[in-house]
Amino acid sequence: MSPTSSTTPATPPKTVRKPRSTAPVHTPDAELPDDEGQALDDGITQLEAGARMWAALTLDQRARLLGRVRDAVGMVAQEWVDVATTSKGLEPGHPLSGEEWLGGPYGVIGLLDALRETLETLAKGGNPLDGVKLGQAPGGRLRAHTFPLNGTERFLLSGFTGEVWFEPGVTAADARREAGLGQLTPTQSGGVGLVLGAGNVTSIPVADVLYELFAHNRVALLKVNPTQDALVPVFERALAPLIEPGFVRIARGGAATGAYLTSHPRIAHVHITGSAATFDAIVWGPSAGAEKGTDAATRRENAEPRLRVPITAELGGVSPIIVVPGQWTAADLKYQAEHVATMRLVNAGHNCIAGQVVILSADWPQRAEFLRELHAAYAAAPQRPVWYPRSDERLADAAFAYPGAVWCADRTRAIVEVGAGERREAVETTEYFAPVLGVVELAGTGQEFLDAAVAHANERLTGTLGANVLIDPATEAALGEGFERAIADLRYGDIAINTWTAFNFLTARLTWGGFPGATLADVSSGIGVVHNALLLDRVERSVGRGPFRPFPRAAADKVRGLRLAKGTILPTPPWFVSSRTGAQVSAGLTRYLIDGKLPGLVKTLTKAMQA
């Protein structure tokens, strides 16, 4: 998720040497102090023993283990959020700390619950797709309606739905037969996997470890990004039920530690959340001239990667926000402008999920009104530190490329409206990973504009991870099948319609990852998926859908008979940067997942109505 790996020095050598392992000696690609290298080797030896124990567990035992992890996460949830908030330059309890609730314990508990249900179903001889509605998507695709699947989901996120689309040619029988992935053959060990954790969103390292265990039967060595070192004690307590029997180990360290581990002969698989540049360095080696002998360019040319084991990755990109022109009210313009600002500004823009390029119709009569509301919402969002390493450099790059950009918040965020004749390449191909929002315009309205916007996103923007589409119900109904066809044409692994792809990311039974087809030589937004709590195979994308209008205006749409309008009881969602009660609501929703206490939920819903 980060555009650059950290160069924070590795942990200093330990003063106490552990007993030598009898495992094969590792000749590393990076030098580490003897004690640090020995500690990593010993950890891998313990994981190898854990892999044998993991393969001996029944599905019932694994499900119960997930319950213990859930309890442990609940115990550390408040500390998790406080440490994460502080690490990003904010005080505990800050109004923006709701992001850390949703992007931390909330997301992990949702994944634990969904995985546990999948394992319990398999243990009883059922299928993960039992009770899931299957249907057809454009292009001969099969889709599974995987959200909501229970009353809690329908109530807490009313008006939101989620679908998993399979690759063309996958039948319902195929999908059911393959659902379960590694849990269909639980005694077949996947060995020891290495997870190189993300540095920006705190649920990611934990979720990636869970996916290694349950999708692939691989025990996991998690190397945290140095930006999350302060969370290691929290992670260790949250994952204690997995650490104690040797199913998971956690290591600190910088680039040298990562290089040591990715070249380790007893690592069977690597998973990284990061940047394409970091991925290429792992797979092909440092750039040409950085080492003696065969350089990275020659390896790539000869298709001879330095990495000798399989690798999966989630690498981000430049995400579009396609605004389909329609007849919007003044309230619609304001609300959707706040929506777009949210997509860019949550976590100070340090998200692979972040929307970066707004694609507008130059012929939309309300274009100027929308842009005025967007500038106002962008400037009014709470100010916060731009905290991720080297963000200042990326803001400077944007200022150099676009001297006419409009800056606000003490020049920590910018909107770049690329005019006719101006170069779009920088904002369309550079994942700024900072508060830089581009606006480009295309001709046309209706289907003509939508098709042009889809083609532009596919062909001009870097990456294939996430795309966002905003469209009012009346316009969507008028486009009919043309709208669904356009969605099918978008070559992105996650698509959000009238919501943000963060909804897909946080929804455990949806998948998260780049569009299929990436290779080691051209990795784009990554290889493979994560989350995917139903453990579905051959997935092409996930599609989330939300209400165009919040409560109570959404209810009025239903009364007026707008066929595609989604009713909802949600006012401004708690993840909006404009929500006045986002922190209290996000914390309350997480605590409700933890303890199920209705009085707390009632209090939370009251706060939600004050957003």
Q: How much is the average pLDDT of 313-319?
A: 97
Q: Is residue 110 part of a domain?
A: yes
Cβ atoms of residues 5 and 258 within 8 Å: yes
Predicted local distance difference test score (pLDDT) of residue 24: 39
Q: Is residue 340 part of a domain?
A: yes
Q: How much is the average pLDDT of 579-598?
A: 95
Q: Are residues 541 and 594 both part of a single domain?
A: no
Q: What is the pLDDT of residues 531-547, one digit of tens each?
A: 999 999 999 999 999 99
Split into its structural domains, the chain has a count of: 3
DSSP states of 243-311 as a string?
Answer: HTTTSEEEE---HHHHHHHHT-TT--EEEEES-HHHHHHHHH-SPTTSSSSS-HHHHHHTT--S--S-E
Q: Are residues 333 and 245 both part of a single domain?
A: no
DSSP state of 320: E
Q: Are residues 486 and 574 both part of a single domain?
A: yes
Q: How much is the average pLDDT of 255-269?
A: 96
Which of 215, 242, 275 is the endpoint of a domain? 275
Predicted local distance difference test score (pLDDT) of residue 553: 85
Q: Is residue 339 part of a domain?
A: yes
- Indicate if the pLDDT at residue 600 is higher than 70: yes
Q: Are residues 573 and 600 both part of a single domain?
A: no
Measure Cα distances from 467 to 20, 109, 480 in Å: 50, 26, 20
Strand partners, 511: 531
Q: What is the pLDDT of residues 459-491, one digit of tens each?
A: 999 999 999 999 999 999 999 999 999 999 999
Q: What is the pLDDT of residues 159-171, one digit of tens each?
A: 999 999 999 999 9
Q: What is the pLDDT of residues 165-200, one digit of tens each?
A: 999 999 999 999 999 999 999 999 999 999 999 999
Q: Are residues 515 and 594 both part of a single domain?
A: no
Q: Are residues 442 and 561 both part of a single domain?
A: yes
Predicted local distance difference test score (pLDDT) of residue 523: 97
CATH number at residue 249: 3.40.605.10
Q: Is residue 302 part of a domain?
A: no
d(C-alpha 414, C-alpha 402), whole Å:
10
Q: Is residue 135 part of a domain?
A: no
By percentage, how much of the chain surpasses pLDDT 90? 86
Query: Would you tell me how many other CB atoms lie within 10 Å of the CB of residue 139?
Result: 12
Predicted local distance difference test score (pLDDT) of residue 16: 28
What's the mean pLDDT when you consider all of the chain? 92
Question: Domain limits at 549?
Answer: 319-519+529-579
Q: Are residues 234 and 340 both part of a single domain?
A: no
Predicted local distance difference test score (pLDDT) of residue 30: 63
Q: Is residue 159 part of a domain?
A: no
Predicted local distance difference test score (pLDDT) of residue 561: 62
Strand partners, 251: 223
Strands 494-497 and 539-545, bridge-based pairing: parallel
The band of 563, judged by pLDDT with boundaries at 50, 70 and 90, is low
Q: Is residue 157 part of a domain?
A: no
Q: Are residues 593 and 515 both part of a single domain?
A: no
Q: Are residues 586 and 573 both part of a single domain?
A: no
Residue 518 phi, psi dihedral angles, 5° rounding: -70, 155
Q: Is residue 584 part of a domain?
A: yes
- Indicate if the pLDDT at residue 382 is higher than 80: yes
Q: Are residues 470 and 505 both part of a single domain?
A: yes
Structure tokens at 549: 């209008």
Q: Are residues 271 and 331 both part of a single domain?
A: no
CATH number at residue 553: 3.40.309.10
Q: Are residues 429 and 538 both part of a single domain?
A: yes
In this predicted model, which residue has the larger pLDDT, 559 or 313? 313
